[in-house]
Amino acid sequence: MSLFSKQLIAAVLLAASSGVVQASPVSKPTRPAAPSQPVDIQTMMIQRCASEMTAMKITDATTAQKVCKCTITVQANNLKVGEFWKIQSMAMNGQNPESLPAFTRVKPQLEQCRAGVKFNAPSAP
């Protein structure tokens, strides 16, 4: 696998997972306000991934939406939570997650998500 492919995998995985869990400094426990509509975390992750891929000029918005939806669906349907976090942690630390058995197991499906899509090298927004 080429270095660009490894960087692209890391960029897509990072975009797919970033911003979902964030710590906020709060001095005392507060009860969060009830959302006005039901929260769909998977959809939120897809939207965040697509917007970050577009912002990094990896691909256009329509293609980013397609790739992110497929990638996140593959992850949601085929990985245990611990496997998902381990893959994400490695990607966020600049490490290649390909050595993990869970990644090896879903790699063919993730490659199908990107089949026929032309990606640009990620650039800072």
Continuous H helices in the chain: 3-17, 41-55, 61-78, 81-92, 101-114
CB 54 within 8 A of CB 60: yes
**pLDDT of 11:** 60
d(CA 45, CA 74): 13
Query: Please, what is the average pLDDT of the chain?
Result: 83
CB 42 within 8 A of CB 76: yes
**pLDDT of 43:** 94
> How many percent of the chain have pLDDT more than 90?
62
pTM: 0.71
**pLDDT of 19:** 44
Domain boundaries, the chain: 3-17+40-114
Q: Which residue has the higher pLDDT, 41 or 30?
A: 41
pLDDT digits (tens, 9 = 90+) for 15-39: 555 444 444 455 566 676 766 888 8
Between helices 61-78 and 41-55, what is the axis angle to 10°? 140
Kindly tell me the sign of the dihedral angle through the C-alpha atoms of 90, 94, 98, 99: negative
**pLDDT of 39:** 85
Q: What is the mean pLDDT of residues 48-57?
A: 95
